[in-house]
Chain A
Amino acid sequence: MKKSILYTVLIIGAIVFAYPFVWMFFSTFKPDGEIGNIQLLPEIWTWENYQLVFDRIPIARGFLNSLIVTSMVTLSVTIFGSITGYAFSRLKWKGRDAMFSLSLLTMMIPFQITLIPTYILIVKFGLTDHLAGLIVPTMITAFSILLFRQSFLTIPQDLVDAARLDGCSELGILFRIILPLSKPVVVTVAILTFVANWNEVLWPLIVIRDQSLMTMPQMVALFAVGGGSDSSIGAQLASALLLALPVIIAYLIFQKHFIKSMASSGLKS
């Protein structure tokens, strides 16, 4: 009896969290007049909402822009984060601990302070309306360095010493010995960076005005806010679904990694 109550509550929870997405999916195939109906399945199936999205905004281009920006940032954060994390954990040099403290400090300063000056920097570099303006400011993050450092500290010194005796360079030690042993942290950093940047919308809204360079979330947000969607609810939902789909698919394939990685962002505090 008690078990059945437990499962009932769990299933209600599942409906609460998942049903809106199911509703959204079917609504994108409904004519606008039908979306207000409580019935889930469309009476008349239509492609018009998607048609309107593709007519009004270059959403495929937005997808490509997001993919470029997010991949570049993820690659850069992983490479530079691991290099710096290595220097902060397995190498001894003057000023190391001071630098590490400084990197911790950067995580404590709210972005509301640096937002405007960083924008001005991007203006000075002439990077507004350039994808580089979205990539460069987040190429290296203190949080990734912290995660790499913590993980690298657990690797036995003998392995590092042996490689060094064999004449391996420092970068060689990092990429051939340490990183292959640190796959979990690489996955964590990559997923966290990818999801955060794929969903980022404030910074693109500030830096990019040219529609052909907008990221996908930015384009979809402006499509819903501005007049582009002709107030068509179906079209707004269709654009939102197109934006959600890549992440949902990636999540369903790698769900265990997603959950583990994102839960580890709780360490941040």
Chain B
Amino acid sequence: MKKLSQVIKPGFLLSMPYMAHLTLFFIYPVVFSLILVFHRWDVVTPMEFVGLKNFIRVFSDEVFMQSIINTGVFLVLHIPLQIMVALFFANLLNQKIIARGFFRTLYFLPVVVSGVVVTILFQQLFNYDTGLLNQFLYKLGLGQVPWLVSENWAMPSIAFMATWKNVGLYVILFMGGLQSIPTELYEAAELEGASSTQRFYYITLPMLNPTIVTVIVLSVIGGFSLFIEPYVMTGGGPMNSTLSAVLYIYNQAFNFGHMGYASTMGLFFAVIIFTVVKIQRKFVETEVY
């Protein structure tokens, strides 16, 4: 060890396991995926070069486009709902209250539980005839909602469920964000006669900007990874209305053996993710300031 460390710097030596792992499980896959996109391959028979065919197919594949739109619908519903609910509860929990820890613990509970559990649970809660939600709405004198059986309702239902599952995390993030706002700002604004709505719009929201960006980026990445919820709950139906991009890629690759085509969709989708995250970062930063 002593002699070796004279030849090779210990820092280099210590990071060698990581470099090896990185080469094998990051560099190689990225490079290989760039090769795969020009091929047709089912892993068993030899690879076949197909040129740009996979790319042409991506653009003419209506189901894939549908899956991207579905993911978009999910995000458009999920993100604003998540931010509003999280801000609402973070504000309440930041008041002087007793048993704050108790409430926080309960709100956070769905965050730690597996998505599989939440999905199986909500499959029953969403049931048209026997589900708790419809029974509750019925008691209130409201109509029943065709949560998972209608193609118009199925994706919003999943977005609702995802909000319920994740919002606890964002409550905590917003609580941290709110606590970092200096109270002098509010005191000064109050002296100047700003109403509570004005204080919210001109102090709270701008000061929370970094947290909001974090929340949006995390929700976007999470939303783009949507898989197990439709896999267990709907299988992507009804009428492909809950087919997420990852579920479609998974089916193409691992049920039909279209590795090349699935990789092309993966690459295409990753480019979309990257662009969306970049754009909304810029957008949110300029919008709120």
B interface: dominant SS: helix
List A residues 1-57 near B (Cβ within 8 Å).
6-7, 9-10, 13-14, 16-18, 20-21, 23-24, 27, 35-36, 38
Q: Per-position contact with B for A113-151: 1 when CB-CB < 8 Å, else 0?
A: 111111111010000000000001101100001000000
Query: What is the minimal beta-carbon distance from B148 to any residue of chain A, in angstroms?
Result: 14
B259 touches A248 (CB 8 A): no
Contacts of B30 in A (CB 8 A): 109, 113-114, 117
Q: Name the residue among B36, B117, B123, B176 with the largest chain A CB count within 10 angstroms.
A: B117
List B residues 12-62 near A (Cβ within 8 Å).
12, 14-15, 17-19, 21-22, 24-26, 28-30, 32-33, 36, 43
Question: In the complex where A117-B263, A240-B120 touch, is A217 in contact with B114 (Cβ < 8 A)?
Answer: yes
Contacts of B127 in A (CB 8 A): 36
Query: What is the minimal beta-carbon distance from A109 to any residue of chain B, in angstroms?
Result: 7
B249 touches A112 (CB 8 A): yes
Contacts of B156 in A (CB 8 A): none
Question: In the complex where A17-B164, A24-B121, A259-B172 touch, is A123 in contact with B9 (Cβ < 8 A)?
Answer: no
Considering only CB atoms, which chain B residue lies closest to A252 in the complex?
B105
Contacts of A72 in B (CB 8 A): none
**Interface assignment of B250: CB less than 8 Å from any CB of chain A:** yes
Considering only CB atoms, which chain B residue lies closest to A83 in the complex?
B14
B109 touches A17 (CB 8 A): yes
B121 touches A247 (CB 8 A): no
Q: Per-position contact with A for B255-281: 1 when CB-CB < 8 Å, else 0?
A: 000010011001101100110000000
Contacts of A86 in B (CB 8 A): 14
Number of interface residues of A (CB under 8 A): 88
B115 touches A118 (CB 8 A): no
Q: Name the residue among A23, A88, A109 with the largest chain B CB count within 10 angstroms.
A: A109
Contacts of B225 in A (CB 8 A): 111
B218 touches A103 (CB 8 A): no
Number of interface residues of B (CB under 8 A): 93
Which of A111, A123, A140 touches B18 (beta carbons < 8 Å)? A140
A251 touches B112 (CB 8 A): yes
A112 touches B1 (CB 8 A): no
Question: In the complex where A87-B15, A93-B12, A269-B214 touch, is A237 in contact with B121 (Cβ < 8 A)?
Answer: yes
Q: Per-position contact with B for A245-267: 1 when CB-CB < 8 Å, else 0?
A: 00110011001001100110010
A interface: dominant SS: helix
Considering only CB atoms, which chain B residue lies closest to A260 in the complex?
B172
Which of A14, A103, A224 touches B120 (beta carbons < 8 Å)? A224
Query: What is the minimal beta-carbon distance from B146 to any residue of chain A, in angstroms?
Result: 16
Which of A13, A84, A236 touches B14 (beta carbons < 8 Å)? A84
- Extra contacts, 15 of them, besides A23-B132, A120-B43, A198-B114 (Cβ < 8 A), are A36-B131, A38-B136, A83-B18, A86-B14, A106-B26, A110-B270, A116-B263, A117-B36, A121-B32, A140-B22, A225-B231, A237-B120, A258-B108, A263-B169, A269-B213
| B contact set with A: CB distance below 8 Å | 1, 5, 9-12, 14-15, 17-19, 21-22, 24-26, 28-30, 32-33, 36, 43, 89, 92-93, 95, 97, 102-117, 119-125, 127, 129-132, 135-136, 139, 164, 168-169, 172-173, 176, 213-215, 217-218, 221, 224-225, 227-228, 231-232, 235, 245-246, 249-250, 253-254, 259, 262-263, 266-267, 269-270, 273-274
